[in-house]
Amino acid sequence: MSTQDFFAANAERHLEEFLELLRIPSVSSDPAHIPDVARAGRWLADRLNAIGVPEVQLIDPDTHPVVEARWQVDPGKKTLLVYGHYDVQPVDPLALWISPPFEPTVRDGKIYARGAADMKSSMITFIQALEAIVAESGEPPLNLILLFEGEEESSGRVVTEYLTANPDRLACDAILNLDGAFPALDHPGFGVTLKGGMLVELHIKIGDTDMHSGKYGASVPNANQIMAKLAATFHTPDGAVAIAGFYDDVVPLSESDRAEIAASAAVMSPILEESGAFVEWGEPGYTAAERAGARPALDINGVWGGFTGEGAKTVTPAEAHMKLSCRMVPNQDGRRLYDLIVAHIEKHIPPGIKWEANYLGGAPAYSTPRDNWALQVAASTLADVYGVNPVFYRVGGSVPITIRFKDTLGVDTVTCGFTMPGSNIHAPNEWFRFEDYPKAQRTWVELLQAFGEA
């Protein structure tokens, strides 16, 4: 039976499977949901067994299992590792959901449920595509390793440990991450460069205790004022980061980088519209899209100290605190940025003030090489299916697993998925469009076949 006929004959059951998976509250960050996460893992393993995948196992079955499914068809063929996650974000605030998050509900051509867009739709349509290929040809067109984890939204512990312990077992020629999104409604694309991030905490102290501002405000330093002054030195007046050496490791944008960013910006919503901010701001010499996708940034995430309660309290605060983070582009290193930030503070803080900075961790940026064979195959497949050239876009956020794959397996990741902008991932009323469901199934079939032929 052709894959198209198979999808037509099984449409109702396929949709029912999606709803069944959505009903499992696989919230990985909440220990109370550990049994649900484990149940979702077993549910997927059962589906993979049912469609005839020869080797299926659950790693760490009682916590947040990784589902590993292997189908070795021919050692002479390429091996594709397919990654996804079946856990979901918490649902709070529950009161803002129009229908309950784990009772999938259809409204206006959309299925509303937690995990509908991020990313149970991607995972189940991929399994169903594999099922259709098996119905047509008996086996997949290349060797497959499926790695579906249950804690992407929290720690990623099980998958990371498994990856580190089994680089030979997971050796592959390409990695497909199903956790992708369209850059614009009905315009396909691939998130090809992801920023990294690093976090710093800073505490300053001018004395042992808060003081009466009448008695001491004119004669001792004020921790808040020192912190505010210091905070103001982190950027130049026109919006560049003023930390010495901050941009040293940044690879300058080439003409082709700028063309790529302009092409994706042309189909994506303008940053002002999408963000809800009133005005633009940032490093001069770059468009907002270039700054968002391809230039590093330093953000002061929080500043506190002194009295912030109701009414008045005339105090000269002894302590002030700050949390800041940097979004890094490829080739930048979080530890090195931290050293530069510390040197900057040393230079700008007045003598005699006690202070302490802590590095809270970080992960580097990741970029899929544009000439990666799997990315090229995926781009031409999506162009055929959608009748429009997909764009390569850059993402401000981070996906640590892509770096772990690169470090452990030496293989680059292609990220692809059918989540539309505005689908409320991580927010109340998450949705996935009905019309994208059969398109996703069909695209996965085309993609697997194209990988098999490459």
* Contact footprint for Zn ion (CB under 5 A): 118-119, 179
Answer yes or no: are the C-beta atoms of 161 and 406 closer than 8 Å.
no
| Residue 276 beta carbon to Zn ion: minimum distance, rounded to whole angstroms | 23
Q: Residue 75: exposed, middle, or buried by beta-carbon count in 10 A (0-12, 13-18, 19+)?
A: exposed
Between 338 and 366, whose beta carbon lies closer to Zn ion? 366
Structure tokens at 7: 């999808």
| Residue 4 beta carbon to Zn ion: minimum distance, rounded to whole angstroms | 29
Between 10 and 177, whose beta carbon lies closer to Zn ion? 177
| Residue 432 beta carbon to Zn ion: minimum distance, rounded to whole angstroms | 13
Distance of alpha carbon 420 from alpha carbon 248, whole angstroms? 36
| Residue 89 beta carbon to Zn ion: minimum distance, rounded to whole angstroms | 8
| Residue 420 beta carbon to Zn ion: minimum distance, rounded to whole angstroms | 14
φ, ψ (nearest 5 deg) of residue 241: -75, 130
| Residue 363 beta carbon to Zn ion: minimum distance, rounded to whole angstroms | 16
Q: Strand pairing partners for 107?
A: 110
| Residue 33 beta carbon to Zn ion: minimum distance, rounded to whole angstroms | 17
Single-letter residue type at 334: G
| Residue 174 beta carbon to Zn ion: minimum distance, rounded to whole angstroms | 20
DSSP 181: B
φ, ψ (nearest 5 deg) of residue 444: -60, -40
| Residue 85 beta carbon to Zn ion: minimum distance, rounded to whole angstroms | 6
Angle between helices 436-453 and 373-386 (to 10 degrees): 140
Between 118 and 319, whose beta carbon lies closer to Zn ion? 118
φ, ψ (nearest 5 deg) of residue 342: -60, -45
Structure tokens at 119: 């990313």
| Residue 143 beta carbon to Zn ion: minimum distance, rounded to whole angstroms | 25
Would you tell me how many other CB atoms lie within 10 Å of the CB of residue 170?
Answer: 20
Answer yes or no: are the C-beta atoms of 364 and 403 closer than 8 Å.
yes
Between 179 and 436, whose beta carbon lies closer to Zn ion? 179
Distance of alpha carbon 364 from alpha carbon 397, whole angstroms? 11
Q: What is the per-residue DSSP string for 354-405?
A: EEEEEEEEEE--EE--TT-HHHHHHHHHHHHHHSSPPEEEEESS--HHHHHH
Contacts of 114 (CB under 8 A, 6+ apart): 22, 25, 27, 88, 89, 91, 101, 102, 430
Q: Residue 7: exposed, middle, or buried by beta-carbon count in 10 A (0-12, 13-18, 19+)?
A: buried
φ, ψ (nearest 5 deg) of residue 197: -150, 155
Cα 244 to Cα 164, 196, 216, 340: the distances in Å are 36, 20, 35, 7
| Residue 68 beta carbon to Zn ion: minimum distance, rounded to whole angstroms | 19
| Residue 158 beta carbon to Zn ion: minimum distance, rounded to whole angstroms | 16
The distance from CA 325 to its chain's CA centroid, rounded to whole angstroms, is 17
Answer yes or no: are the C-beta atoms of 298 and 232 closer than 8 Å.
no
Between 154 and 225, whose beta carbon lies closer to Zn ion? 154
Between 118 and 149, whose beta carbon lies closer to Zn ion? 118
Q: Determine the length of the chain.
A: 454
